[in-house]
Structure 1
């Protein structure tokens, strides 16, 4: 059964509207990324940005645009009302989701910049994966100069403010890139939970800075109520989060580089398949033994 054409369900001017809302959602994501603690660098910039008079009004304005556009979509979409309301709630709680969905988006379709409407499924997933493969490898490679800057500039880069700021911007760019890629790929995937499980390392890369940011909020909230030793431990814990984030990036880089070399990647996959087949054979043997032990003894005729 073929999907209906999205042109029949999307109002006129929908392409321009989705492009504009994509820019709004991306701007919101970038502002959030700039205040997240991606490492020991950029602390003074983050504090300045959070304290600046324009930051919160701009962030709130972008959020308000997403919510208002979602409310208008409740009266324009062709889907069931409950579906439109659910999408409105999701985009209101997480404005970056507006890049991939809206209250008026037809079910089973995804709007892509430069490509227009595409049906979700394996074909769109493969095309997105091919287009994003090289840019994401290059983006992930940026973790190497970040690690080099932190090693040469000291753990906190206190004596190198410009290098610290550049390092913070690069790590922010990496985080935004991974978030955008993950959102688009999840939106296009036919089985979204399976995609998340398969690409769990990407999900960790996205979530670790958020956890570190929540930890930092608690740290500043109770800073006057704790002793210096506890505050120091809080800083060390935040540093642990950021180091885990960089390890996840390195692991992801290794996986992506393997995929760029088909021969090596095929060999790795064949090795994994052989291991799984061996494990499956072992499990079947154990299952047969368990069945024999639990099966009732056959009665012999007298």
Structure 2
């Protein structure tokens, strides 16, 4: 992934109903896929039943067809280069959930966001999205805790209680869908796609592990068996939970706000920070003076 493309032309107008409907279609496709992915040690019976049910194939084909047809019609909406429009058509046709963030009818460099309308991709909208999504995503991620509790303490209970197993599976599906949608939106808005992926690699792993575990052709490898058993998924979910909570703390400056409730302690902490910075500054000045004093060798 590379940096966001440059934006040209006026702010796009209209398309609200079209993009809102396609957001629903793309989300529905992602949800159907999420239901059949292995997210841990529960839900195998439901997944096998749903995969074998004729409704699964009908939903996948129907939603996929809608994305492709809408993509073809969008080729005639924007004035972008034909190669760019065809690239977007190929991407959304191969991966329909990408229709949430790109479309043949969507001008280059612009995003249509529900409740926000058209926004240029870049640092400003990336920060706004992060602030809007931070708390909802933490609440969603906290669902990891009851899921882990059920998987770790349930044991045979999940096998003997289909309803509990189904509830656990559906909860992990919701978590996975939420992680995937947030990741797609944030990557689309980020000024540097690659930098965002590297910074948030844990979220990317959480999204990709169930997809890898779904590939039964790889089941001969121990790594994939570990994925299907849920051990790696649990580890990364916990790490993702901690990372999200810490990001919210930093994003909303919660630590500093708590310190400000006690003015004396807050002033003391500021004085300590100033003292540390002055010491570091003194060390840097000393190194700079030493380097300038050295004679060319």
When normalised by structure 2's length, the TM-score is 0.79
Runs of 4+ in 1 over 2 A off after TM superposition: 1-7, 216-219, 233-240, 259-267
Q: Provide closer, same or farther for how the CA distance between residues 165 and 139 of structure 1 changes in structure 2, counting only shifts above 3 A.
A: same
Q: What is the Cα-based RMSD across aligned positions, in Å?
A: 2.8
Aligned: 1:252 with 2:224: no
Higher relative contact order (CA 8 A, sep 6+): 2
- Whole-angstrom CA distance in 2 between matches of 1:6 and 1:106: 9
In structure 2, the residue matched to 1:42 is: 43
In structure 1, the residue matched to 2:32 is: 31
In structure 1, the residue matched to 2:261 is: none
For residues 271-293 of structure 1, the C-alpha deviation after alignment (integer angstroms, 9 at most, x for no partner) is xxx9xx9xxx9xx9xxx9xxxxx
Say which is worse superposed, 250-259 or 192-201, in terms of deviation.
Answer: 250-259
Tell me the secondary structure at the aligned position of residue 77 of structure 1. coil
> Which consecutive residues of structure 2, in runs of 5 or more, have no partner in the other structure?
1-5, 258-268
- Whole-angstrom CA distance in 1 between matches of 2:156 and 2:87: 44
Tell me the secondary structure at the aligned position of residue 79 of structure 1. coil
Query: Is 1:41–1:167's contact at 8 Å kept on the other side of the alignment?
Result: yes
Query: Is 1:153–1:159's contact at 8 Å kept on the other side of the alignment?
Result: no
When normalised by structure 1's length, the TM-score is 0.78
- Whole-angstrom CA distance in 2 between matches of 1:88 and 1:263: 43
Q: How many residues align?
A: 260
- Whole-angstrom CA distance in 2 between matches of 1:255 and 1:150: 21
Aligned: 1:239 with 2:244: no
- Whole-angstrom CA distance in 2 between matches of 1:259 and 1:210: 26
- Whole-angstrom CA distance in 1 between matches of 2:106 and 2:238: 36
> Which consecutive residues of structure 1, in runs of 5 or more, have no partner in the other structure?
220-229, 289-296
In structure 2, the residue matched to 1:293 is: none
| Displacement of 1:57 | 1.4
Query: Is 2:122–2:191's contact at 8 Å kept on the other side of the alignment?
Result: yes
